[in-house]
């Protein structure tokens, strides 16, 4: 690679062992490429410099936050630059306008913590919120646990500052609550997975802080009863702030990992919360009654925020429990809420067909589940089976009226299925949009589009 501009010399990650850690994200089997350069930008000017240089030398650039992507979208590219924006982490909070103007490197949970002093909240809450960054959240239109009530990242991004390939700085959107001036280019960049430009600042909408959430935990003997519970919650006048599903095998996996008090032979568990200001207690009692009427065999209601948090601990243990079980592929499909039960059944049929174990859990309130297939990485038949199961789950979601990704994005792993969902003409239009912003094709190439 030609030598980098002098300004960037002390932004380079020189230690090869440390640099290698920037080569991978959280996608299964991720392996760092042999040769790539890591630049940790400290401000917009650094990003401008990198993108000017990259365009001049036709070098691919991968924007990166905390690299918690599960899709390969944040993995370094052979011969390319991994442009990390974690260190651009300024925060300005305007409590009158109820906005935060932030750098892309701000960690989601840190922003939430800072907002408590203003009695304000930024709702998007991916399960990775302790480490993932706002830049990564914007680029993936991240969801999370509370979307059932509060929506996704796109619902909170009012404006962006983006550096385009070649180094031009572009501003989209606005700071004000309303505005319809021209096309919504902010919306275009949200969820674009770093393929159009690098976000260097964002204007985020804030809301008044809700009450501390209270929790209901409902245990069901069968999957069918669990789905009746989900349906009963859809009829509530006050939408829960969280509805999480664990199927039977997920519960067994968590109990294997540690004793979180779930009956190991349960057919399903629903965790439900309310944070409605002044009414959380009334709501959880109402949800508990509805879940019991729907057929729950056991319902526990937390009386205070500490107890509410304890009830959620089993859900939090899910990711470490799955990690502890070894090699796996994790899906992220979204179906109509009324078809969730069909999706769970189909996932287990697919797993059985390939001789694999699977668990199915996720954000039931949105119809967004993360089926997970386990395989023995030393057994070629199991590796092939897991790959096939991944694709068959996408097709199952389509058959049920759903989509191939609810919140994690397309990345490289799901790029082969893009055309199957959008059709050739729509993919061609989307490629043309990319070419408008990135005519040289240097921004995160190979992501979204195969
Ligand atoms: C345990 C675990 C739980 C998770 N739970 C959830 C969940 O509940 N909901 C959910 O939506 N996701 C979840 N994820 C996926 C992941 O955390 C999210 O996609 C998150 O938004 C990625 O943020 P990041 O900072 O790690 O970005 P990275 O992984 O570094 O990058 C993600 C994408 O954003 C792009 N990008 C990063 N920074 C910029 C920038 N400044 N400008 C332009 N593009 C940029 C990258 O190129 C890449 O395409 C989970 C992941 C893990 C490992």
pLDDT, tens only, 375-431: 999 999 999 999 999 999 999 999 999 999 999 999 999 999 999 999 999 999 999
Q: Best substitution site from 40, 136, 169, 361 to test ligand 1's pocket, by max atoms within 8 Å of Cβ?
A: 136
Looking from the CA of residue 447, the nearest atom of ligand 1 is 49
Bridge-based pairing state of the strands 81-84 and 61-64: parallel
Domain 214-320: which CATH class?
alpha beta
Distance of CA 98 to the CA centre of its chain: 24
Confidence of residue 304 (pLDDT cuts 50, 70, 90): confident
Looking from the CA of residue 319, the nearest atom of ligand 1 is 1
Going by the DSSP 8-state scheme, the letter that residue 12 receives in this structure is: B
Please report, rounded to a whole number, the percentage of residues in the chain having pLDDT higher than 70. 100
Residue 440 C-beta-side C-alpha neighbours within 13 Å: 18
Looking from the CA of residue 139, the nearest atom of ligand 1 is 34
Buried b (16+ CB within 10 A) or exposed e, 388-425: ebbbbbbebbbebebebbbbbbbbbbbbebbeebeeee
Beta bridge partner(s), residue 412: none
pLDDT in tens, 312-360: 898 989 999 999 999 999 999 999 999 999 999 999 999 999 999 999 9
Given this model, what pLDDT does residue 311 score? 85
Q: Best substitution site from 64, 185, 406 to test ligand 1's pocket, by max atoms within 8 Å of Cβ?
A: 64
Is the pLDDT confidence value at 1 over 80?
A: no
Q: Could you tell me the distance, in angstroms and rounded to a whole number, from the CA of residue 104 to the centre of ligand 1?
A: 11
Taking the model in full, what pTM does it have? Answer: 0.96
In whole angstroms, give the CA distance from residue 418 to residue 202. Answer: 28
Distance of CA 139 to the CA centre of its chain: 10
Helix (H) or strand (E) holding 283: helix 280-294
Q: Could you tell me the distance, in angstroms and rounded to a whole number, from the CA of residue 175 to the centre of ligand 1?
A: 24
Is the pLDDT confidence value at 57 over 80?
A: yes
DSSP 366-382: GTEE--EEE--TT-HHH
Question: Any idea where the domains of the chain sit in the sequence?
Answer: 6-84, 91-208, 214-320, 326-399
Q: What's the CA angle centered on 396, arms 317 and 232, to 5 degrees? A: 60
Domain 326-399: which CATH class?
alpha beta
Around Cβ 119, how many Cβ atoms within 10 Å? 10
**Minimum CA distance residue for ligand 1 atom 50:** 128
One fold for 214-320 and 326-399: yes
Average pLDDT over residues 247-272: 93
Q: Could you tell me the distance, in angstroms and rounded to a whole number, from the CA of residue 334 to the centre of ligand 1?
A: 18
* C-beta separation of 413 from 72 below 8 A: yes
In whole angstroms, give the CA distance from residue 309 to residue 213. Answer: 8
**228 Cβ contact list (under 8 Å, min separation 6):** 294, 295
Q: What is the dihedral of CA 106, 109, 111, 112, to 10 degrees?
A: 170
Given this model, what pLDDT does residue 133 score? 98
Around Cβ 45, how many Cβ atoms within 10 Å? 14
Residue 34 C-beta-side C-alpha neighbours within 13 Å: 0
* C-beta separation of 55 from 440 below 8 A: yes
In whole angstroms, give the CA distance from residue 201 to residue 88. Answer: 8
Residue 281 C-beta-side C-alpha neighbours within 13 Å: 4
Domain covering 6-84, topology: 3.30.43
Q: What's the CA angle centered on 263, arms 260 and 269, to 5 degrees? A: 80
Looking from the CA of residue 26, the nearest atom of ligand 1 is 53
Bridge-based pairing state of the strands 81-84 and 37-40: parallel
Q: Could you tell me the distance, in angstroms and rounded to a whole number, from the CA of residue 121 to the centre of ligand 1?
A: 20
Q: Could you tell me the distance, in angstroms and rounded to a whole number, from the CA of residue 137 to the centre of ligand 1?
A: 5
Looking from the CA of residue 153, the nearest atom of ligand 1 is 11
The architecture (CATH level 2) of 91-208 comes to 2-Layer Sandwich (3.30)
pLDDT in tens, 109-122: 999 999 999 999 99
Around Cβ 187, how many Cβ atoms within 10 Å? 14
H-assigned helices in 194-235: 223-234
Average pLDDT over residues 89-101: 98
In whole angstroms, give the CA distance from residue 105 to residue 84. Answer: 9
Determine phi and psi for 161, rounding to 5 degrees: -110, 130
In whole angstroms, give the CA distance from residue 60 to residue 111. Answer: 31
Ligand 1 is surrounded, with C-beta below 6 A, by 25-26, 62-70, 73-74, 85, 104, 126-128, 132-133, 135-137, 139-140, 142-144, 193-194, 198-199, 319, 407-408, 444, 447
* C-beta separation of 208 from 327 below 8 A: no
In whole angstroms, give the CA distance from residue 314 to residue 115. Answer: 27
In whole angstroms, give the CA distance from residue 60 to residue 54. Answer: 7
Q: Could you tell me the distance, in angstroms and rounded to a whole number, from the CA of residue 134 to the centre of ligand 1?
A: 8
pLDDT in tens, 168-185: 999 999 999 999 999 999
């Amino acid at each position: 690679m030609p030598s980098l501009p002098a300004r960037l010399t002390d932004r380079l990650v020189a230690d090869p062992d440390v640099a290698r850690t920037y080569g991978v994200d959280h996608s299964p089997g991720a392996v760092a490429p042999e040769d790539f350069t890591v630049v940790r930008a400290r401000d917009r000017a650094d990003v401008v410099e990198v993108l000017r240089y990259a365009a001049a030398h036709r070098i691919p650039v991968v924007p990166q936050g905390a690299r918690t992507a599960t899709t390969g979208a944040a993995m370094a590219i052979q011969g390319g630059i991994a442009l990390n924006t974690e260190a651009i982490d300024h925060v300005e909070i305007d409590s009158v306008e109820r906005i935060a103007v932030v750098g892309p490197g701000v960690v989601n949970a840190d922003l939430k913590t800072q907002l408590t002093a203003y009695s304000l909240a930024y709702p998007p809450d991916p399960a990775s919120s302790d480490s993932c960054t706002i830049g990564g959240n914007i680029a993936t239109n991240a969801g999370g646990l509370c979307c059932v009530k509060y929506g996704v990242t796109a619902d909170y991004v009012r404006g962006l500052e983006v550096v385009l390939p070649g180094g031009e700085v572009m501003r989209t959107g606005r700071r004000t609550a309303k505005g319809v001036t021209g096309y919504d280019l902010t919306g275009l960049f949200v969820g674009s997975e770093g393929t159009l430009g690098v976000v260097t600042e964002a204007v985020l909408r804030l809301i008044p802080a809700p009450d501390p959430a209270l929790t209901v935990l409902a245990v069901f003997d069968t999957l069918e009863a669990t789905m009746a519970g989900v349906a009963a919650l859809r009829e509530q006048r006050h939408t829960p702030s969280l509805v999480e599903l664990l199927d039977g095998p997920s519960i067994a996996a968590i109990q294997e990992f540690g004793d979180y008090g779930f009956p190991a032979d349960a057919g399903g568990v629903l965790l439900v919360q309310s944070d409605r200001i002044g009414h959380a207690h009334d709501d959880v009692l109402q949800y508990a009654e509805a879940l019991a009427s729907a057929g729950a065999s056991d319902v526990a209601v937390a009386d205070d925020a500490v107890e509410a948090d304890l009830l959620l601990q089993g859900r939090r243990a899910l990711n470490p429990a799955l990690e502890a079980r070894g090699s796996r592929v994790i899906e992220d499909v979204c179906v109509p809420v009324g078809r969730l039960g069909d999706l769970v059944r189909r996932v287990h049929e697919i797993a059985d067909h390939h001789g694999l174990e699977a668990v199915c859990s996720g954000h039931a309130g949105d119809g967004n589940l993360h089926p997970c297939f386990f395989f023995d990485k030393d057994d070629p038949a199991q590796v092939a089976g897991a790959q096939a199961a991944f694709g068959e789950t996408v097709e199952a979601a389509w058959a049920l009226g759903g989509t191939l990704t609810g919140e994690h994005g397309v990345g490289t792993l799901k790029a082969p299925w893009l055309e199957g969902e959008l059709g050739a003409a729509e993919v061609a239009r989307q490629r043309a949009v990319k070419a408008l912003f990135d005519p040289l094709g240097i921004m995160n190439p190979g992501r979204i589009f195969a």
